[in-house]
């Protein structure tokens, strides 16, 4: 909000959220590693968006509709990727993932202007957040028909069936036979494992 206020804006947009992400956490480290600085974000924002010349205004800025949607999408991403028994916490990686992967957001336009490749951001964040392959807000889950044979074990390749049940993970499947094999491998002492 302070960034929007210093820019004389009535609303804090995703470009202001991007500025805020430079202050702390994984998102700050990611942006710094990619060479993104506070001054560059400010210059690109002023170049791309119409900011008033007079920065004196009454009242505190509020989040723009785009910023509110980004915060909600980060909450949704954190909720989807958190086990049921754990508290849902939205951290900087989720918010950076949301605003960087939304092709129409003002933050993404700033990143594009700075020559930052979104794929580099995804690579930096992959350990912290599982970024969906589809755009936020346009996700649909297709229900599998009983005769749908596209579900296959990601490890052995066998299709799922009544005899070979599959457990689903994020973009992966594993059959009961592979689960048993994994348990056997993990039960061996580390030095005894063969590849």
Q: Where are the domains of the chain?
A: 2-125, 143-195
Q: 138 vs 154, which has greater pLDDT?
A: 154
Best CA proximity match to 153, nearest among 130, 181, 134: 181
Residue 28 has pLDDT above 70, yes or no: yes
Q: Does domain 2-125 have CATH number 1.10.1780.10?
A: yes
Query: Beta strand 172-175 with 166-169: parallel, antiparallel or unpaired?
Result: antiparallel
Three-point CA angle 70, 75, 81, nearest 5° = 125
Residue 127 tokens, joined: 């350990």
Please report, rounded to a whole number, the percentage of residues in the chain having pLDDT higher than 70.
74
pLDDT for the residue numbered 158: 77
Cα–Cα distance between 30 and 122 in angstroms, integer?
10
Run of H or E including 62? strand 62-63
What do you get for the CA distance between the two ends of the chain, in Å? Answer: 53
DSSP alpha helix (H) spans, 49-104:
65-80, 92-101
Return the H-helix or E-strand segment holding 7: none
Least confident of 28-32, 110-114, 176-180, 190-194: 190-194
Average pLDDT, stretch 36-60?
80
| Distance between CA atoms of residues 97 and 108, nearest Å | 10
């Amino acid at each position: 909000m302070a960034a929007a206020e210093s820019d004389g804006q009535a609303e804090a947009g995703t470009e202001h959220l991007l500025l805020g992400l430079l202050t702390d956490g994984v998102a700050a480290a990611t942006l710094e590693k990619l060479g993104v600085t506070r001054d560059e974000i400010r210059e690109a924002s002023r170049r791309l968006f119409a900011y008033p010349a007079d920065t004196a205004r009454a009242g505190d800025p509020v989040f723009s509709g785009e910023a509110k949607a980004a915060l909600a999408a980060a909450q949704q991403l954190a909720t989807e990727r958190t086990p049921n028994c754990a508290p849902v916490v939205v951290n900087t990686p989720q918010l950076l993932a949301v605003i960087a992967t939304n092709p129409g957001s003002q933050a993404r336009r700033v990143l594009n202007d700075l020559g930052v490749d979104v794929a580099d951001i995804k690579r930096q964040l992959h350990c912290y957040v599982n970024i969906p392959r589809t755009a936020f807000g346009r996700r649909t889950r297709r229900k599998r028909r009983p005769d749908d044979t596209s579900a296959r074990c990601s490890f052995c390749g066998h299709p799922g069936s009544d005899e070979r049940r599959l457990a689903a993970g994020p973009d992966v499947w594993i059959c009961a036979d592979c689960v048993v094999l994994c348990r056997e491998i993990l039960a061996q002492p580390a030095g005894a494992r063969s590849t």
